[in-house]
Amino acid sequence: MRTSRVSRETARIAGALSPTKRRSTRQAAREANARDEEEDLEADANGALTPRSSPVDGDIKTTSRTPMRKRKREEVPNRESPTVGSSSREGVTKRPKPRRHPAKHIKGPNGSVKIEPPVNWEQVYGTTAAMRKRVLAPVDTMGCESLAEKHRSPQDQRLQTLVSLMLSSQTKDTVTAVAMKNLQDNLPGGFCLDTLLEVEPDELHKLIEKVGFHNNKTKFIKSVATILRNQYAGDIPDTIEGLVSLPGVGPKMAYLCMSAAWGRDEGIGVDVHVHRITNLWGWHKTSTPEQTREMLESWLPREKWHDINHLLVGFGQTVCLPVGRKCGECDLAAEGLCPSANVKRPSPVKKKVKKEIKIEFEDGAVAKVDEMVVQADDLGMKVEADLEGDGMIEAQALAGAVAPNVKQGVISGFPV
């Protein structure tokens, strides 16, 4: 066997010095396994022959004496699996995201269409109304319906209501209220149809210049005054068709004016707040305020047509803002009624434990530790304390065991 071993060594050196092609990994592995088997057989010539290699992957043989075993995962008793809808953090329950329940159009056997309202609309409406009572919105004190002078005649009040609605387009209620106050205080003879006809356009423009699109609105108001005098006997129209025919008056203004000026609810005044919020609630999926009005009027009870605009405008001014919605302060989000709510849960904050503990050693020495690092696990508590001059010591309270160098003491409530 020695001769063969010397021959193998000589062949190996010659192979390394020769310019031949490098042997493949598979071939080298086969030769290495063959050498190992031969050495093992020689070593065990006087005893039981126990080759340590086993065939793996065809010709390749492994050289490990003890096969690797996968460590068995220890079972943890009394460990319950998380329930559906619960958080991994103990004590925190995640509410499933609310679903959208839009109004449905159901066709009958005779071709008729029945509108089925959203399933939870009454709860959403009532919760929103309760929130509105707690918070005062600009529309409550400066809305177009409340800007007319109460001491004027009913005809003048209707005119002022119409003009305030014309000024409110693309303008905040606070700015509209200031412009209306300027007209009421500075028009010669008061705010009435005759003064609107007599005032110069430049003077009228100065009184309303803070509102949006003030140049166009100046022209519209002068034109409307002339139309009211010539076609409606100095009063405003009492029909939706007549109101929308006036320059600068759209469907929203017409329905709101009919309700506030004439006391007739012939439709829902849908502005940007009503259109936006009802879509956020999932009551429908519309792209224009006019489509929203048609959808709402198809199922919303008529007695709520007048109130829904005032309700949602104030809600949109205080809580459900166009930018930066306050979902964290909204009862609809807290009760899981709004499918568009965006409430972020605070992330858990890791705190460093800082306490004073007393540790007594076997030799009678006593040490006080001010700062320590506490690590909780399934069995107990582990404390690592850094003592000045004594290096790092460990005191463990795991299932009642005591570290060898600790005699007695209390560690974060765990007796050792």
d(C-alpha 303, C-alpha 88), whole Å: 47
Residue 209 pLDDT exceeds 90: yes
Query: Percentage of residues in the chain with pLDDT exceeding 90?
Result: 53
Task: Provide the 3-class DSSP secondary structure of residue 411.
Answer: strand
Q: What is the largest CA-CA distance in the chain?
A: 132
pLDDT band at 197 (very low <50, low <70, confident <90, very high): very high
Identity of the amino acid at 182: N
Residue 235 pLDDT exceeds 80: yes
Give the active site residue among 61, 217, 252, 382. 252
Residue 189 pLDDT exceeds 60: yes
Residue 41 pLDDT exceeds 90: no
Residue 18 pLDDT exceeds 80: no
**pLDDT tens digits for range 328-359:** 999 999 999 999 998 765 555 544 444 455 55
d(C-alpha 317, C-alpha 311), whole Å: 10
Mean pLDDT of the 110-135 span: 90
Q: Which of 73, 261, 82 is nearest to 161 (CA)?
A: 261
Per-residue pLDDT at 6: 60
Active site residue 252: yes
Return the residue matching tokens 């129209």.
237
- The region of weakest confidence among 85-89, 98-102, 346-350, 398-402 is 398-402
* Angle (nearest 5°) at CA 17 between 16 and 23: 35
Per-residue pLDDT at 413: 37
pLDDT band at 114 (very low <50, low <70, confident <90, very high): confident
- The token duo for 112 is 């008729």
Sign of CA dihedral 148, 151, 154, 156: negative
**pLDDT tens digits for range 265-324:** 999 999 999 999 999 999 999 999 999 999 999 999 999 999 999 999 999 999 999 999
Averaged confidence pLDDT in the chain: 75
> What structural domains and CATH numbers belong to the chain?
2-62 (no CATH), 121-334 (1.10.340.30), 357-415 (no CATH)
